[in-house]
């Protein structure tokens, strides 16, 4: 069975600078203040070529993020990342304005860090 995908709508609160590891692996994180009865700040991690999706959005912008939940074990610690594969800008009326760097659903390739 292929991995499940999820969506979350909210306002971009923070966009961090890209991080590049010795292996050449690149990661860029951002925080979304989710729309909910009890809003929370949720951190997402764009991986490799998906980092470019953040070039077309700004802090304060309302977006819908399509993502997968990824987990791994590294040095006896477990990590969970929410990895976006699509970010859509949202109009005030709730309709989306697509930004689609890559429409394919991400592979199940493990994170190398």
DSSP state, residue 58: -
pLDDT (0 to 100) of residue 104:
45
The token pair at 20 is 């590049």
42, 101 contact by CB (below 8 A): no
Q: Which residues contact 1 (CB under 8 A, 6 or more apart)?
A: none
pLDDT (0 to 100) of residue 3:
65
Taking the C-alpha atoms of residue 55 and residue 66, their distance in angstroms, rounded to an integer, is 16
Give tens-digit pLDDT for 39-49: 999 999 999 88
Domain ranges of the chain: 6-92
Give tens-digit pLDDT for 59-71: 999 999 999 999 9
Q: Which residues of the chain have pLDDT under 50?
A: 1, 99-106
27, 50 contact by CB (below 8 A): no
pLDDT (0 to 100) of residue 23:
86
CATH topology of domain 6-92: OB fold (Dihydrolipoamide Acetyltransferase, E2P) (2.40.50)
């Amino acid at each position: 069975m292929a991995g499940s995908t999820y969506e979350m709508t909210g306002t971009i609160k923070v966009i961090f600078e890209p991080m590049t590891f010795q292996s050449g692996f690149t990661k860029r994180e951002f925080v979304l203040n989710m729309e909910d009865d009890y809003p929370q700040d949720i951190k997402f991690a764009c991986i490799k070529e998906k980092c470019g999706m953040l070039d077309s959005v700004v802090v304060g912008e309302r977006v819908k993020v399509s993502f997968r939940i990824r987990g791994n074990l590294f040095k006896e610690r477990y990590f969970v990342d929410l990895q976006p594969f699509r970010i859509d800008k949202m109009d005030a009326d709730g309709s989306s304005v697509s930004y689609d760097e890559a429409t394919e659903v991400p592979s199940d390739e493990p994170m190398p860090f």
